[in-house]
Structure 1
Amino acid sequence: MRLVWPSIEFLPSYVTALKRGWSADNVRGSVAAEEELASISQDPEAFLVSLVDREATGARVALPDGSTVARLPGYRRWIWDDEFCGAISFRWQRGTSDLPPYCLGHIGYAVVPWKRRLGYATRALRCLLPEARSEGLEYVEITTDPDNLASQRVIESNGGVLHERFVKPGQFGGTEGLRYRISLG
């Protein structure tokens, strides 16, 4: 398993995962997958470029409630083992480890159902942490739901410590969440 940058070489396998019902967006699910398939169909190169935006020059980000917010610097890497296995995303604010209130965490990940329970999310997160450190962050925060024990194990396996229980902002459903912190020092 390795992390790869999204590219034309790997795009067909990514498209296959989307068509099989997978989505990196655990809130919008199939709607987000359909939007990505349409974007890829319209302009594959532009889609790939949109996944790596270290300068936050892309369009505003639509939240689940339809509101939009300023884009943060960030990128998505793909989890690969001779085929697409999932994605891990990283976003940050320059000059601080803090995030704006509309951003629940620095890192998000999703593994395709047919590759789960192989340790890929744990390994992907481990591979991404040095990249977060290179951006000057003292820590990263990752949120998950209280009933998502698999995600909690991934975070804890990478040194994550429960920082707080919180109520997600309304645009994310107002449900309970867990915020973990991984020190990068």
Structure 2
Amino acid sequence: MSGEQLLQLRRNPERFLHDLYNSPMVRLPDGREVARLPAHDFWITDGEFCGRIGFRFQRGTEDLPNTAFGHIGYTIVPWKQRRGYATQALRLILPLARQEGFSRVLITCDDDNEGSKKVILANGGQPAGTLPHATRPGHVKLSFWVPTA
């Protein structure tokens, strides 16, 4: 979850949740709006809010539009990081991706995000190349295929 999203959540939780789950469009970091993909989204909690994880996809194909960097995205609030929540959440969402017909999912992370790389690798991620980073010149997104079984 970006700093901007956390601020929106704190300012108006009801509006944030409505926009997150009901809007047919998604605003990209560059300001463009694109159609929302089918998705399954979940809060991560230990009795308190820890973060969220989501699986987005196009039915019948593992391909994604060029506006989506991966099938699964997750974020943990800073004060709950390094406790295994993301690793467990990813482990738990993979069977749902399998139920949707996926034998593997694509997950990306920033090249300098060591925590996310560990989460992906702990769940069987296999390196699949790099993509240019849209908002951080000089950085790339690392891509990984993660099996769902």
Please classify the TM superposition score into its range, dividing by the shorter chain length: 0.7 to 0.9
Query: Displacement of 1:65 after TM fit?
Result: 0.7
| Residue 130 of structure 2 is aligned to residue 130 of structure 1 | no
Query: What residue in structure 2 maps to residue 176 of structure 1?
Result: 140
SS at match of 1:96: coil
Q: Please give the alpha-carbon distance, in whole angstroms, between the structure 2 residues aligned to 1:179 and 1:132.
A: 17
Residues 114-133 of structure 1: per-residue CA shift (max 9 Å, x gap): 22111111001000100111
Query: What residue in structure 2 maps to residue 34 of structure 1?
Result: 7
Work out the number of aligned pairs and report it.
Answer: 148
| Residue 45 of structure 2 is aligned to residue 80 of structure 1 | yes
Query: What residue in structure 2 maps to residue 104 of structure 1?
Result: 69
Query: What residue in structure 2 maps to residue 3 of structure 1?
Result: none
Query: Displacement of 1:140 after TM fit?
Result: 0.7
CA-atom RMSD, angstroms? 2.0
Q: Please give the alpha-carbon distance, in whole angstroms, between the structure 1 residues aligned to 2:16 and 2:112.
A: 33
- Distance 1:167-1:150 versus aligned 2 partners, 3 A rule: same
Query: What residue in structure 1 maps to residue 115 of structure 2?
Result: 150
Superposition TM-score, scaled by structure 1 size: 0.72
- Preserved contact between residue 106 and residue 140 of structure 1 (Cα < 8 Å): yes
Query: What residue in structure 2 maps to residue 71 of structure 1?
Result: 36
SS at match of 1:117: coil
Which structure has more strand as a fraction of its residues? 2
Of the three residues 27, 33, 54, the one matched with 1:62 is 27
Unpaired segments of 5 or more residues in structure 1? 1-23
Unpaired segments of 5 or more residues in structure 2? none
- Preserved contact between residue 144 and residue 178 of structure 1 (Cα < 8 Å): yes
- Preserved contact between residue 165 and residue 178 of structure 1 (Cα < 8 Å): yes
